[in-house]
Chains A and B, each alone.
Chain A
Amino acid sequence: MPTVSVGRDRLFEALGRTYTDEEFDELCFKFGIELDDITTEKAIQRKEKHLDEEGTEDDGETIYKIEVPANRYDLLCLEGLAQALRIFNGLDPIPTYKVANIGKESMLEMHVKTETSKIRPYVVCAVLRGVTFDEAKYNSFIDLQDRLHQNICRRRTLVAIGTHDLDTIEGPFTYEALPPAEINFVPLKQTRNFRADELMEFYKSDLKLKKFLHIIENSPVYPVIYDCKRTVLSLPPIINGAHSAISLKTKNVFIECTATDLTKANIVLNTMVTMFSVYCERKFEVEPVKVTYSDGKSFVYPDLSIYNMNVPLSYITGIIGVQLPEEKVASLLHKMQLRAEKSLSEDKKVKFVVFVPPTRSDVLHPCDVAEDVAIAYGYNEIPKRKPASLKPLPLSQFSDLIRTEIAMAGYTEVLTWILCTKKEISSMLNREEDSSAAIIADSRTSEFEVVRSTLMPGLLRTVGHNKDHSKPIKIFEVGDVVFLDATNDVGAVNRRHLAALYCGATSGFELIHGLLDKIMEATGANFVSPGNSSGYYIEKSEEPALLQGRQASVIYAGKRIGTFGIVHPKVLKEFDIPDPCSFLELDMQTFL
């Protein structure tokens, strides 16, 4: 995206009001440009020189760096930006650009010689009459050429612009292509004559110009423009002659664009003349130039004709998804510099004839018109249509993510019974009878008396049945337990728990502690000091199923969410486990 630097104060003057940076940013956002940076002339210079000094208070004028869409060449200068925003804000009508109606005999002419087809076949020209420059306008004029050269002209390969003080030269002009040795002139900013081939050599050390030499360097002929007295206007796309250089005093400007791409040459010429015709004696009027090719064909430039595009109303509203009345659409288009006239199509449907001005070369298709309506209407005002889609349960998704993490930490997943005996959740765990568990009325199997209220017995039974498995055994389970809950309609609720167990020659207490850290890290919780509720910490606990002194509660966000510790030897004995074990159990629903 090209960036345009404009003086803030001059821009606000042109817009007829001042904005705060935020307000202006908002305006840019709506219009589809971006306030990229706010800086000063001196700060830019410092940056170019790689100086790190701090800015002083008196850093000169504030500069706005504004990013504009790559296909909006009309926004590459302050004049165009101000005009677009003024019209967007409803301040100005859409300008009508006119080609001055002058007689054939007084029209300037450019004759194109055959040889140019070998190197740079096209040229288009125009004249701005009665221009009043001041320093700012003059600089803007030069800057616009630079930006066009950088962007659409693809670093002068496709198009090169030459601007001249018309009062120093005399038509008819000729566009020729000659062997370098035959071209001789004083180039811009130099005081002596150069032969074109010498000049190319000379510019090899010129930082700015050396980038462009390759475009013609190896050609046997160089493009060159002469006036009727053989004064060299320019050696495109490299340099203009010093003789016809424009200055602050220049009144009449002759513009020529030589090119390898005629469409782009026209866009470039039109951009130059439309933007700066605002400073002409006759505002928005441009004087034409007749270009005649060696085959006798001739064309008059600039071509400022309006392109008429037929766009059905339904097409516009169909794209935006908002039913807009026709008057509204017309006024929205007006804000975007597009005049629209309503008419009826053959099948009696409302359509618009949209008049695309020469400044809007970006409008190629009715979809571009539809976009402009959408922008003027406001993207953020368009009501959204919700698509059909699914949302999986966060709890299941979260469980899956955590399961993967634990498995990757080297623990093997087991899947045990939800149902178990009363003893397994009480006396076998060295606990009092669990009054929070749901109890089964008539079970066929004595193994199933209650719904588990902890994952502990399942993991312990698994170890008890795998005594011969090589040590250490590292297993885990993520699953639901059930608690009585009077606040729920049926009087009981599920809670998603996570449990892990380590069994080896030693209990692996610190390893289970490390696994806890890993799990908490995976949930994004920080290890904090006791009492801090922004993360998790552990504190001494008194859980009878675990060995005293080697167990701790896990406190997360101020809530106790589980415990870990060495399984009490009495419990190990109950489950017939000869090896020491450490165990961790957490309530996972707390994390959601």
Chain B
Amino acid sequence: MADEAEDAILVYLKDNDEISNSANFAEEFGFSHDEILNVIRRLNGFRFVEAQDIRKERWVLTEEGKTYAAVGSPEFQLFSAVPTEGIAPEELQKKLGPAVYKIGCQQAIKNKWVQMAKAQVSRKVEHADDKVKDLLLRIQKDEVVNQEDIDALKRRKLIIQQIWKGNSVRKGPEYAPKRKRAATDLTRENLQRGDWKELEFKEYNFSAKGLPVEGGHLHPLLKACFVRRQVQTIFLNMGFEEMPTNNYVESSFWNFDALFQPQQHPARDSHDTFFLKVPSTTRMLPEDYVERVKEIHESGGYQSRGYGYDWKREEANKNLLRTHTTAVSSRMLYALAQKPFAPKKYYSIDRVFRNEAVDRTHLAEFHQIEGLICDRGLTLGDLIGVLHDFFSRLGMSKLRFKPAYNPYTEPSMEIFSYHEGFKKWVEVGNSGMFRPEMLLPMGLPEDVRVIAWGLSLERPTMILYGIDNIRDLFGPKVDLGLIKRNPICRLGL
């Protein structure tokens, strides 16, 4: 049908300048007006025709008005029902029904057609014209009616205004008597029928994007592209082997004491660390090693002065969620010390926990990257060298180092990288040489040194992707759009 309507319009315009009124055209050719309007809009879009809006205001009868146009106004009905000798009001009402009677009385009295006495309704004039009915019929036929009458009918809610919209249509710049339908895609049928040669495509929108791809998305922190695997690859290429870090519950001993972190250290406050209620204490520690750790804390040894306090086993036994993966490093180094010494390069990337209020830049759990080299004769030069190698692979080649304090490393260095975007130095990690007070009680040879560094996985990711609220990236308040959109990590590529 739509095609027929389109053809009708285009053919009509071939011989005529204009379709002056779409409604008349629709009626003349037997289409619905709505359909014709739709076709005109489409043709106008393709610039086959140029359409002008026509807008008309017209009056139409209400339901009540329609009734009166058919059977006469209530006042005329009433007048007609009053015989010349008069009639009792009750009887008149019975004849007309209460609604017609009520309105009819008002209007007939106003028109001075009848007079009402208590017992009798009688005619005042002999003859009356039903002007209301006449007017309504004229309005129905779209004839012109003067304003005064319109207002009167409007007041009686017999007519309402209606806005009518239509089009006038002329030829457009692309006019042709027949329009070829533009195809949107090549189909199997086109190939089978062989009619692809006749296909005309609608101009493709080269400034829009294509249909979004439906697929899954890995989290940027863990995905192949960024951080975790990329950093893993970096470590593997640098000859590091992974430490097993699948143990979130740790004892204070391995997390703190073994690292020569004193028991009154602020980090060991429940304000900073998640201690466990169940299982609250650790059940087994290597006793001879525990003795050596106790001694180094209390009174020193191995040329150290120690901290000079009463070391408590209960504190060491307290279980916690590990606050750093260095807890794993201390286990690994201890294990290493139980065998004839062989140099090692270890790394890990895993979750750690801090008793922090979560905000834009702080999380209660995050990922820590850690690397360490254990060998004889290592120097700060080696540490600086390995940091340059590691961080340049992460895309940070301009580094500088600031002296810092850390209970288990000495010397300690904070790592700063120059951020080209921010035009300033940003802290990207921490590093140092593990203290002899940590290594020697484990049983490692005296000339063995361990250089190590750590950083969070989140921080470089935030810098890389320009994220200023860490919760957008990590945790249940994540912005899923961000996970879908982010580019692959092109670190070092």
* A71 lies within 8 A of chain B by Cβ: yes
A380 to B381, alpha carbons, bound, how many Å? 10
* A100 lies within 8 A of chain B by Cβ: no
Which of B217, B224, B412, B487: most chain A Cβ within 10 A?
B487
A529 to B208, alpha carbons, bound, how many Å? 10
CB-CB under 8 A from B196, the residues of chain A are: 547, 569
Chain B, Cβ-Cβ closest to A524? B487
CB-CB under 8 A from A524, the residues of chain B are: 487-488, 490
Contact A397 B493 (CB under 8 A): yes
Contact B210 A32 (CB under 8 A): no
- From A205-213, A400-408, A478-486, the one touching the partner chain is A400-408
* A136 lies within 8 A of chain B by Cβ: no
Our pick among B201, B225, B238, B405 for the contact of A405 (Cβ within 8 Å) is B225
Our pick among A30, A365, A379, A517 for the contact of B380 (Cβ within 8 Å) is A379
Contact B485 A521 (CB under 8 A): yes
* A197 lies within 8 A of chain B by Cβ: no
Per-position contact with A for B186-210: 1 when CB-CB < 8 Å, else 0?
A: 1110111000100011011011011
* A217 lies within 8 A of chain B by Cβ: no
Q: Which label, helix, strand, loop or mixed, suits the secondary structure of the A interface?
A: mixed
Give the interface size bracket for A toward B: 35 or more
CB distance from B389 to the nearest CB of A (A): 6
- From B281-289, B300-308, B332-340, B346-354, the one touching the partner chain is B300-308
Contact A383 B239 (CB under 8 A): no
* A142 lies within 8 A of chain B by Cβ: no
Q: Considering the complex, which residues of chain B in the window 162-187 have a beta carbon less than 8 Å from any beta carbon of chain A?
A: 185-187
Contact B385 A385 (CB under 8 A): yes
Contact A394 B216 (CB under 8 A): no
Chain A, Cβ-Cβ closest to B393? A391
Contact B186 A318 (CB under 8 A): no
Chain A, Cβ-Cβ closest to B402? A29
CB distance from B421 to the nearest CB of A (A): 14
CB-CB under 8 A from B210, the residues of chain A are: 510-517
Given contacts A367-B433, A514-B209, A578-B192, contact A385 B379 (CB under 8 A): yes
Our pick among B185, B237, B307, B488 for the contact of A509 (Cβ within 8 Å) is B185
A181 to B385, alpha carbons, bound, how many Å? 66
Which of A389, A391, A539: most chain B Cβ within 10 A?
A389
Our pick among A367, A382, A522, A530 for the contact of B381 (Cβ within 8 Å) is A382
- From A127-135, A289-297, A319-327, the one touching the partner chain is A319-327
CB distance from A408 to the nearest CB of B (A): 5
* A306 lies within 8 A of chain B by Cβ: no
* A505 lies within 8 A of chain B by Cβ: yes
* B214 lies within 8 A of chain A by Cβ: yes
* A238 lies within 8 A of chain B by Cβ: no
A402 to B131, alpha carbons, bound, how many Å? 84
Per-position contact with B for A361-397: 1 when CB-CB < 8 Å, else 0?
A: 0101111101100110001101111111111101001
* B413 lies within 8 A of chain A by Cβ: yes
* A580 lies within 8 A of chain B by Cβ: yes
CB-CB under 8 A from A299, the residues of chain B are: none
* B218 lies within 8 A of chain A by Cβ: yes
Contact A404 B490 (CB under 8 A): no
> What are 24 A-B contacts with C-beta separation under 8 Å?
A70-B405, A264-B309, A320-B380, A322-B381, A364-B304, A365-B410, A367-B435, A370-B410, A379-B384, A379-B413, A382-B380, A384-B381, A507-B185, A514-B209, A514-B210, A521-B485, A523-B487, A523-B490, A524-B490, A530-B207, A547-B186, A569-B190, A578-B191, A580-B188
Q: Which residues of B contact A (CB under 8 A)?
A: 185-188, 190-192, 196, 200-201, 203-204, 206-207, 209-218, 224-225, 233, 237-239, 264, 266, 300, 302-309, 373, 377, 379-382, 384-386, 388-389, 393, 400-405, 407, 410-413, 433, 435-437, 449, 485, 487-490, 492-493
- Please give 20 more A-B residue pairs, beta carbons under 8 A apart, in addition to A69-B405, A401-B488, A401-B489: A319-B379, A319-B449, A365-B302, A375-B411, A384-B385, A387-B389, A388-B239, A394-B493, A400-B224, A410-B214, A509-B185, A514-B212, A517-B210, A517-B212, A522-B488, A537-B206, A552-B204, A569-B191, A572-B191, A579-B188
